[in-house]
Amino acid sequence: MNKVEQAVIPAVFALAVAASMPASANWSESSDGDLSGDYLSPTAIALAPNAGTTVSGTIEGAGQGRSVDLDYFTVHVPSGQNLVALFVRPVTAGGGNAGSFIGLYQGTTGVNPAGAQSTDALGYYLFGTADTDTDILPDLATFNFLGTNPSQGFTPPLGTGDYTIWVQEGASGVFPYVFELVLQAVPEPPALVYLGLAGLGVASRRRSGRKV
């Protein structure tokens, strides 16, 4: 191998590795603009496959359950991927005694906040600082405020499809939040894995049985 080849091959390998890595899909209201306040037209955010995507912003409330700023965004879980976690990340601060509201809905729109019912949502949760670095996807699936407000409920992870997230605050003040939504490849069924390993074993025996 000459010096030119020695220089070119590592460079080509580095480019190939970089191309295989997911592009950053993070969204920050401070740099990318305010998230939509319209439940019929949420901001679409692309999730990076096999990685975490962060969404950060602020919500404002006027107290007594009244919201000044509503945030809606839609994500798509592509075929072959699952949404396996939704982490609350540092700087998040929920308002009031209960915390800030996050709701999860099936499809590309939310629901009209005027008259919205808990059963309209796949799941919802009241989050705050105490949830920092915690995966709240299981909480979204089962949370029931005061025991009388169930959601539709679901079993994590979330599979292929479109999902809309609604974030709002009812306490007085402005509160930041950072969520990380994590996609992972759908695991292969054990039977397929076994067949693949069996195939490798047959191929290995065939190679070892050849005469040299």
pLDDT score for 94: 94
In a domain, 139, yes or no: yes
Identify whether 5 is part of a domain: no
In a domain, 12, yes or no: no
Tens of pLDDT, residues 111-151? 999 999 999 999 999 999 999 999 999 999 999 999 999 99
Give 195's pLDDT tier (boundaries 50, 70, 90): low
Read off the pLDDT of each residue in 175-204 and give the average, rounded to a whole number: 77
**What is the pLDDT confidence band of residue 211, given thresholds at 50, 70 and 90?**
low
* 210 beta partners: none
3 within a domain of the structure (yes/no): no
Q: Where are the beta strands (DSSP E) in the chain?
A: 27-28, 43-44, 52-63, 66-67, 71-77, 81-88, 100-106, 123-127, 134-135, 161-168, 173-185
Q: How many CA atoms lie within 13 A of 11 on its CB side?
A: 6
**Number of folded domains that form the chain:** 1
Kindly state whether residue 10 falls inside one of the protein's structural domains. no
14 assigned to some structural domain? no
The pLDDT of residue 25 is: 82
CATH code (residue 117): 2.60.120.1050
108 found inside a domain:
yes
- pLDDT of amino acid 206: 59
User: Any idea which of 2-6, 50-54, 151-155 has the lowest mean pLDDT?
Assistant: 2-6
What are the pLDDT digits (tens) for 10-60? 444 333 333 333 445 899 999 999 999 999 999 999 999 999 999 999 999
Would 13 be classed as within a structural domain? no
Residue 117's domain spans which residues? 22-203
Prediction pTM value: 0.80
Distance (Å, whole) CA 188 – CA 208: 29
More confident residue, 189 or 190: 189
Residue 182, pLDDT score: 98
Q: What is the mean pLDDT of residues 89-110?
A: 96
At residue 99 the predicted structure's pLDDT band, cuts being 50, 70 and 90, is: very high
